[in-house]
Amino acid sequence: MADVTKEKFTYRDAVAEGIAREMRRDPSVVCLGEDIGAAEGVFKTTVGLFKEFGPARVWDTPISEQAIVGAAMGAAMTGMRPIAEIMFSDFLACCWDYLANEIPKARYMTGGQVTVPLVVRTANGGGLGFGAQHSQAVENWAFAIPGLKIVAPSTPSDVVGLMAAAIRSDDPVVFFEHKALLAGSGTRPPEGHLIELGQASVVREGTDVTVVALASTVSLSLKAADQLAGEGISVEVIDLRCLIPLDMRTVLSSIERTSRLVVVEENPYQGGWGGTVVSVVADEGFELLDAPIKRVAGANVPLPFADSLEAEVIPTVGKVTEAIRRLSAY
């Protein structure tokens, strides 16, 4: 028998695998979204689900984000655990009333009598030349709404482990799947793999500078750290994994060792999640710092279609490397 742990296991494979594992475990889990059934998703992140679970649990929907998320809310309130797919995260704007005003507030407004245990999955982020309306990283939109949990994995293994935790959560979770990571591969995790929400990971240890990253910026930061190691700069890289719950304990513990911080995010600099991380460090860890904090973030402009222009707007390895190099010399 072939060792499945050694087979190529991509990020997109991990999305389908993570969902399938939970659907096998819990019959109340259902999926709904555009073209997720027989077509197996426009990004091929639902491959095999329709064949295994059928139309009773994998629902193709009309092209209506309001209908998808509204139906998911109703299903969650009546005992199911729906996983709703919004094809591009940019389109969360089309169902924002449900996501901002209804879903995250139901548990509070009913005094805990009604929970809304649902996951809204969505393809997020740029780097592929999809243009201004299909390339945005919008974690910061959800980050501004109390009552939502926010997940953004960077590896296939984390996709599976965090998907399990998100589906089992009794609170609503927005699960961001970065488009630029879909073809990347990694280790297939064992059955039962579960990662607690709000548990960051130190993916590279270092002594000179702490870099905090999320989703696609994790790999950028690791590449920058590899380059700078040749210059004698030791970089510690933290993958937040989640924005809510936000694991600042791991961040502060790292800064206690390095005394320097760079935050790398794809959100626009204005209003990005990195501003909150920096604020908490300033409030709770200012005396740990030996240098100013640096942020590498997206520019405050609509994302260009041309690859060369898009690279000027979003974080790159070069931008991260330069920020770390300057900070280490401070």
Cβ atoms of residues 5 and 187 within 8 Å: yes
CA neighbor of 52 nearest in space, from 38, 34, 72, 35: 38
Query: DSSP secondary structure string, 204-258?
Result: E--SSEEEEE-THHHHHHHHHHHHHHTTT--EEEEE--EEES--HHHHHHHHHHH
Please give the positions annotated as active site. 65, 134
CB proximity list for 13: less than 8 A, separation 6 or greater: 47, 156
DSSP state of 12: H
* For helices 11-25 and 156-168, angle between their N-to-C axes, nearest 10 degrees: 30
- Tokens read off for 296: 């590498």
